[in-house]
Amino acid sequence: RNFKRQFECRSDIERLNAPFLSIYESLIPTEEEKAKQKQLLTLLEKLVTKEWPEAQLYLYGSCANSFGVSKSDIDVCFAIENADLNKSDVLLKLADILQSDNLQNVQALTRARVPIVKLMDPVTGISCDICINNLLAVENTKLLRDYAQIDVRLQQLAFIVKHWAKSRGVNETYQGTLSSYAYVLMCIHFLQHCKPVILPCLQGMERTYAVTVDNVECAYFDQVEKLRDFGCRNRESIAQLVWAFFNYWAYCHDYTNDVISVRTGRIISKRSKDWTRRIRNDRHLICIEDPFETSHDLGRVVDKYSIKVLREEFKRAAEIMQYDSDPCVTLFEPY
């Protein structure tokens, strides 16, 4: 199914490209910042391998998936193969080690949904969360990074959408709105569907990369350097894509029946996933299938109140993109 366009795009849309591109450029992290992140990772590796020589650290999340804006925290996964390891014990010990090396604000959050150690490095000024054996996150980080290499418009769109979501207060999973990860999947899905398409469906192609983690097979085409021209028949630039993205989520998405699925490159039905009714706290009011953990709906945090907030925000953004004289300012006004 194609995305229907409810309205004609405004006639002066082209003139919005330059200001959107300059917002995008202002959000790109500097080389200096990237170097500081590496420096902190190296320090952490040194401390961790002293205690656990067999352990490995991986960067995941926005610092490694190409969707990190300037001044983000870093997410680190501590990977260790040991069947009878107790995560809380490891986290507490890790917190001890980090604390005695002058890292600041060290906290072990052993009861969180994803237990982590938090810290701040006074040398680089960077904050960091360390989780244990969250290897699926490392894999989905690689998938997002590979998609980002195919067409720069994905990174441009995702930066603008994330910046909008943060400015408007709809990037807070604890308040029932969506994670950054969910927004990036929404952008990938969108570019898999626009006409002509801008992104392929990597999981639907020949498998050049395959690993199994936590009994989940993560397999897809990862030779993305061969796909650099994939989207070239579509000449739309950032302002049109931002316009169409918000228009889709405001007026064209079928919230009652549809699930967006980057894995299949299609819209699939809630019925096929048995996501039609509320089960415990999962209401499935907006459905975004995780590309690897397919039973996981990233929209599950959304409740009957926050779905209204989200849909109002999509409509607001669509209206601004359609009519406002200065969307690059109005879109990001604090709520």
Residues that bind Mg ion (CB under 5 A): 61-62, 75
Helix (H) or strand (E) holding 46: helix 31-51
Answer yes or no: are the C-beta atoms of 243 and 155 closer than 8 Å. Answer: no
Return the residue of 33, 55, 61, 253 that touches ligand CTP, per CB under 6 A.
Answer: 61
Cis amide linkage into residue 200, ω under 30° from 0? no
Q: Do 21 and 238 contact (CB within 8 A), yes or no? A: yes
Q: In this chain, which of 37, 66, 141, 240 binds ligand CTP, going by CB under 6 A?
A: 141
Residue appearing with tokens 């994803």: 114
Integer-rounded Cα Rg, in Å, for the chain is 20
For the record, the structure tokens of 222 come out as: 């990862």
d(CA 163, CA 316): 15
| Smallest separation (angstroms) from Mg ion to the CB of 12 | 36
Closer by beta carbon to ligand CTP, 140 or else 322 = 140
Q: Which is nearer to Mg ion, 67 or 220 (CB)?
A: 67
**CB count, 10 Å around CB of 248?**
22
Residue among 160, 244, 238 at smallest CA distance from 195 = 244
CB of 321 to ligand CTP, least distance (A): 23
Q: Judged by CB under 6 A, which of 75, 146, 297, 313 binds ligand CTP?
A: 75
How many chain residues bind ligand CTP (CB under 6 A)?
Answer: 15
Shortest distance, position 14 Cβ to ligand CTP, whole Å? 29
294 binds ligand CTP (CB under 6 A): no
Nearer to ligand CTP (CB atom), residue 97 or residue 137: 137
The reply on whether position 137 binds ligand CTP by CB under 6 A is yes
Q: How far is the CB of 2 from ligand CTP (least distance, A)?
A: 28
Identify the CA nearest to 60 among candidates 179, 144, 126.
144
Query: Which of 72, 203, 234, 261 touches ligand CTP by CB under 6 A?
Result: 72
Distance CA 59, CA 131 (A): 10
Shortest distance (Å) from residue 182 CB to ligand CTP:
7
Q: Does residue 299 belong to the site contacting ligand CTP (CB under 6 A)?
A: no
The least CB distance from residue 137 to ligand CTP, in Å, is 4
Largest CA distance in the chain: 62
Residues in contact with ligand CTP by CB under 6 A are 60-62, 65, 67-68, 72, 75, 137, 140-141, 179-181, 298
